[in-house]
Every structure is written in C-alpha cells, then in structure tokens.
C-alpha cells in the first residue's frame, strides 16, 4: 500500500494556496482578460512590470509559456538559443522551441547552471549562410539543476553585454528570481536590467496555484500577446487566479528567507548522515541536492524507498542525485523530522541491506 506523503519536498510547485490567498481570490474583481478588461490581471501585470523595471508585462498560464512565447518573439525558424546544458527548456519543456517555431537550442558547458561570457563567445556561431543564426541567450535564475545557485550580478552583466555586442537578444528564465533577490538582497530590477525579456513564476515558492508573468518593452509585450493567443494562453475571467499572484507578491516574497533557512538546516542535517553527500556543498536558496551513490541505491530507488517507508517525498534529479526543495508548506519541524527519519532509514535499512564496506547495489 502506498504510504501517504506527510512531508513533501518534491518541489516548490506542490505549494497550495493558503486560506488567506483563497479568500483574496474569491473577492477578485474580474473581466474578460482577452478583451483587456480584467482589472486584477492589469494590476498583477503592473506590479510585475514595476518590480522588474520594465515597460510592460503579460500574465500567462505557466512559466513554460513565458519561456516559449519569449523565444518565439525573439527568434525566427533556424535561429539558435544559447543556454546552459542544465537549463529547464532543454529538459522539461517537451522540446518547446523546436516544435513550436523551428528554433534550435545550443547547450553551453556552464558550471552548476551558470556560464561565463567566454563560454558564451565560444558557443557563438560564425555568421554565414552555413550556420544557424545565434540569436538569443537564456539565463536561468536561480539555476535549478545547479542546486538553486544564484547567477552573480557581475556574470549576468558580462554575458548580457557580450550577447548584445554580438547582436543577440537576452532573456531570463526567472522562475525563482525572487529567491535570488531574497538570498542576495539585490533588487529584482537590478538583475533584470540587462535583459530584453524576463519572467517570474507565481506557482513555485510564491505559492500561487497558477501562472507566470513575462516582462519587457511595450513592443516586446505586444508581440508576446500574439503568441499568448496562438498558444491558447489568452483567458477570460482570469482575475480569479491572477489575484493569487497579487496576493503572493504582497505577502509571500520576504518569507522566502524562511525557505532558505530551512534548506540550510536540511543540508546541515543530511551532511551529517552516513552515505549521503551534498552536491553542491553550498546551499544558496531553497534547493538541496545530494548524491546517494554510497547508499548502494540509485536516486530513483532512494526516493521510492524514502516515500514508501517514511512518507517523505524527494525527487530524483539525476541517476544518483536527489533533490529536496523547501517551500511555504514546510516548517522547521518538518525539516527536523525529515533528517531524523532519513537518518533512521540510512543507518538501519540501507546499511543493513548494503553492508558497511562500500557501495554495491542493494535489494531495492
């Protein structure tokens, strides 16, 4: 029988709207969003445009659609987007830019999700009729598979300057930009300045049920509207869900610091357990990655075992890499319980099955 999940560290996407957020959503003023008549959607878009220091913003049903609409505006078929090899659109968006607009993606060999201006320049194509045209860079803040790593502002400035010098546009996948803002104290508009377009996700750590908001110049957003329509992202009385975003921006940004503290606490606890190794060692935001090779299990087996035995859910992010993400549904007590429960499991069941002398495949 499946054990019910009591502590869910799978992702910050598992957050549910709080009772206060739900009440706020109930009372939202609404109108026909496609006709530009939803006041709550307008309010949300204005808030995000201001937060990011851009002329205009556009509410979309998902972060994935924010990326895809932006890529479609910036690129023509046969153009190429450069991004880190771990970036979300390469792995989790069903191949998006290629089926949707015939755009190619060139993965760069960054480090923990962050590439340098030099690596970008090495990845640029010679502009002739043989090569695809290098057209756009896409930067992921924070870098998810980099373990929630924050792109340093200086690196952002360097890569964007280089991209612009070479005639490329710049885009930020800011799904967790506000985690970086809270972790570093650098305002969102500072991170945003060098980018022609960027977006934030409302349905990750911010705790809204749906949506992302894409920002850029008036001209860019007008074009993005075409793709919102094309992709089926134009909605009707969307104020009901947009209200959750307004609420989240007003009440759930500063509290991201708690998620970061909880992630640190979890990392410290896990680091003390036998057979588990943090990778990377430093936790910057709300994501903890650890390697399970020495347990004798692979990541999928480890995740399944922990879920079955103690009702705690992690996710497998690589063959041997397990991810835990903290969010507003996770308390300090949940973290302590997680450390204790995983500790019991590793010391007991796992070591009992796999022996104490080294790593070999166990019975799971």
Ligand X SMILES: *Cc1c(COP(=O)(O)O)cnc(C)c1O
User: Which residues contact ligand X by CB under 6 A?
Assistant: 62-64, 67, 88, 140, 144, 173, 175, 201, 203-204, 212
**SS3 call for 287:** strand
In the complex, least distance from residue 220 CB atom to ligand X, rounded to whole angstroms: 19
User: The tokens of 84 are what?
Assistant: 């880190």
State residue 28 phi and psi, 5-degree precision: -65, 140
Residue nearest to ligand X (CB): 63
User: The tokens of 258 are what?
Assistant: 């708690």
Task: Please answer whether residues 338 and 266 qualify as being in contact, where contact means their C-beta atoms are separated by less than 8 angstroms.
Answer: yes
In the complex, least distance from residue 123 CB atom to ligand X, rounded to whole angstroms: 20
In the complex, least distance from residue 330 CB atom to ligand X, rounded to whole angstroms: 17
Cα 279 to Cα 88: distance, rounded to the nearest angstrom:
19
User: The tokens of 284 are what?
Assistant: 């910057």
Q: State how beta strands 169-174 and 133-140 pair.
A: parallel
Cα 190 to Cα 187: distance, rounded to the nearest angstrom:
5
In the complex, least distance from residue 232 CB atom to ligand X, rounded to whole angstroms: 14
Cβ count near 316 (within 10 Å)? 17
Q: Which is nearer to ligand X, 43 or 171 (CB)?
A: 171
- Residue in this structure with the two tokens 């996700």, named with its chain if needed: 201
Q: Which is nearer to ligand X, 175 or 303 (CB)?
A: 175
In the complex, least distance from residue 62 CB atom to ligand X, rounded to whole angstroms: 3
Q: Which is nearer to ligand X, 144 or 354 (CB)?
A: 144
Q: Which is nearer to ligand X, 194 or 325 (CB)?
A: 325
Cβ count near 352 (within 10 Å)? 11
Q: Which is nearer to ligand X, 247 or 354 (CB)?
A: 247
Q: Which is nearer to ligand X, 92 or 348 (CB)?
A: 92
Q: Which is nearer to ligand X, 246 or 350 (CB)?
A: 246
User: DSSP of 135-190, one letter per residue?
Assistant: EEEEEESSBTTTTSBPPPHHHHHHHHHHHHHTT-EEEEEETTHHHHHHHH---HHH
Of the candidates 274, 311, 270, the residue with the CA atom closest to the CA atom of residue 289:
270
């Amino acid at each position: 029988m499946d054990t019910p999940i009591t502590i869910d560290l799978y992702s910050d996407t598992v957050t549910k709207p709080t009772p206060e957020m739900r009440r706020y959503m109930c009372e939202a003023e609404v109108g026909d969003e496609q006709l530009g008549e939803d006041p709550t959607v307008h309010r949300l878009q204005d808030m995000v445009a201001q937060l990011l220091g851009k002329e205009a913003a556009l509410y979309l049903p998902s972060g994935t659609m924010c990326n895809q609409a932006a890529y479609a505006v910036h690129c023509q078929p046969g153009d190429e987007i450069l991004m880190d090899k771990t970036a979300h659109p390469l792995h989790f968006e069903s191949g998006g830019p290629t089926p949707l607009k015939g755009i190619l993606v060139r993965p760069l060999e960054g480090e923990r999700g962050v590439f340098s201006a030099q690596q970008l320049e090495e990845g640029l194509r010679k502009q002739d009729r043989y090569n695809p045209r290098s057209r756009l860079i896409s930067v992921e803040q924070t870098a998810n598979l980099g373990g929630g790593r924050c792109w340093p502002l200086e690196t952002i400035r360097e890569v964007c300057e280089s991209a612009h010098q070479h005639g490329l546009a710049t885009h930020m996948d800011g799904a967790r930009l506000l985690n970086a803002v809270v972790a570093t104290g650098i305002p969102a508009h500072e991170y945003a300045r060098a980018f022609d377009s960027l977006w934030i996700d409302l349905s990750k750590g911010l705790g809204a049920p749906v949506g992302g908001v894409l920002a850029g110049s008036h001209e860019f957003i007008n074009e993005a509207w075409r793709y919102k329509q094309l992709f089926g992202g134009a909605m009707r009385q969307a104020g009901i869900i947009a209200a959750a975003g307004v609420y989240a921006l007003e009440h759930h940004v500063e509290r991201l610091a708690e998620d970061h503290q909880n992630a640190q606490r979890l990392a410290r606890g896990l680091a003390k357990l036998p057979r588990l190794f943090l990778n990377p060692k430093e936790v910057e935001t709300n994501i903890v990655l650890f390697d399970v090779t020495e347990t004798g299990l692979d990541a999928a087996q480890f995740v399944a075992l922990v879920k079955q035995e103690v009702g705690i859910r992690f996710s497998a992010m690589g063959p041997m890499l397990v991810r835990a993400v903290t969010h507003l549904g996770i308390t300090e007590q949940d973290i302590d319980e997680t450390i204790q429960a995983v500790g019991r499991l590793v010391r007991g069941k796992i070591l009992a099955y796999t022996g104490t002398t080294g790593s070999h495949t166990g019975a799971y």
